[in-house]
Amino acid sequence: MKKITVILASILSLGINSKVFSQSNNVQDNKSLLWKISGKQLSKPSYLFGTMHLICANDFVWTNKMKESLDKSEKICFEMNLGDPKLMMETSALMIDKTGKKLKDYFTPEQYKIISKYVKDNAGIDISIFENMKPMVLEGMLISNEVNCPNPISYEDTIMKTGQKSKKEIMGLEEPKEQIEAFESIPTDSFVNSLMEQITHPNNDDTSYQQLINAYKIQDLPSLYEQIIKSKELGDNMGALLYDRNSKWIGRMTDKMNKSSVFFAVGAGHLWGDKGVITLLRKNGYTVEAIK
């Protein structure tokens, strides 16, 4: 679950076949995190950038072309409106478990004892503060705490601060409730099992996670996407976490692009594939080109 949640966040691919490669005549053209959106009577181009929600400083990719595209854009749009001062309050309210269960009710007494100790030893936090929260909240906190470096960087935070310096408007593609509902499509048992696996076998996912990071650093979207959809954690939830959200975003992106030039920054896992944002934009008549 670690590699998936870090990529999708909002969490965040397929065996490569001819349908995927048909998106470009040159495979090398697919290796980019940054794409220009034009055509369909847009007065100005907009840009699409694939993020990793948390990444180590040594793995942070930010080229001059990326900076220039952000500078040219009039507005910035994330998965959610990170510039909204009410966002944290709204998100926190949605994290409360309203089923009547306490966090410990999802675990056996022995499991909860192990988790409590792990949270205290590794995050310096008493697990009681999560008493009324959904298990997915604890999972997210532990993952953020375990990116393999002491001070991971947030692309969203970096891009937002840069935009705010030039007084760019910050927007979002979906409401907090929509994103939470997407992640809630993953059965609670999956979060519980993932937590226990992460705690009892902390090194099991290191190789896969590093492969994901390596693909991101060389801007290889097809490879990154392939690794995501191969993940057993997503299973039947691929539609809700990726495909349904991608489809929903297109109309919202269109509305925003018709009014101004926008720098869209979303999890890199959303960009590629026959149901990815790049393909869906092209199907809707836009020209989407990789920027090197």
User: Does residue 16 carry a pLDDT above 50?
Assistant: no
| Lowest-confidence region among 164-173, 196-205, 220-229 | 196-205
Q: What is the mean pLDDT of the chain?
A: 84
Please state at what angle helix 109-123 crosses helix 188-200, rounded to 10 degrees: 60
pLDDT attached to residue 26: 42
pLDDT attached to residue 187: 79
User: pLDDT for 219-245, tens place per residue?
Assistant: 999 999 888 877 655 555 667 788 999
Tell me the C-alpha distance between 167 and 47, whole Å: 18
User: pLDDT for 85-123, tens place per residue?
Assistant: 999 899 889 889 998 999 999 999 999 999 999 888 887
Residue 291's nearest CA partner among 47, 62, 73 is 47
pLDDT attached to residue 13: 27
Mean of the pLDDT values across residues 82-87?
A: 91
Mean of the pLDDT values across residues 208-227?
A: 89
Percent of the chain with pLDDT over 70: 84
- Helix ranges (H only) for the chain are 2-8, 18-21, 64-72, 87-94, 109-123, 135-145, 155-165, 176-183, 188-200, 206-217, 221-229, 238, 244-257, 277-283
Q: What is the CA radius of gyration of the chain?
A: 19
Mean of the pLDDT values across residues 164-183?
A: 92
Query: 3-state SS of the chain: helix, strand, coil percent to 5?
Result: 55, 10, 35
| Predicted model pTM | 0.85
User: pLDDT for 242-270, tens place per residue?
Assistant: 899 999 999 999 999 999 999 999 999 99
Tell me the C-alpha distance between 62 and 75, whole Å: 18
| Lowest-confidence region among 173-177, 188-192, 258-262, 272-276 | 188-192
pLDDT attached to residue 154: 92
Tell me the C-alpha distance between 54 and 168, whole Å: 23
Asked whether 246 and 284 are in contact (CB, 8 A), the reply is no
User: pLDDT for 27-81, tens place per residue?
Assistant: 446 789 999 999 999 999 999 999 988 899 999 999 999 999 999 999 999 999 9
Tell me the C-alpha distance between 224 and 211, whole Å: 8
pLDDT attached to residue 184: 81
User: Does residue 205 carry a pLDDT above 70?
Assistant: no
Burial readout 155-173 (b: 16 or more C-beta within 10 A, e: otherwise): bbeebbebbeeeebebbbb
Tell me the C-alpha distance between 158 and 160, whole Å: 6
Residue scoring higher pLDDT (155 or 26): 155
| Lowest-confidence region among 8-12, 107-111, 183-187, 192-196 | 8-12
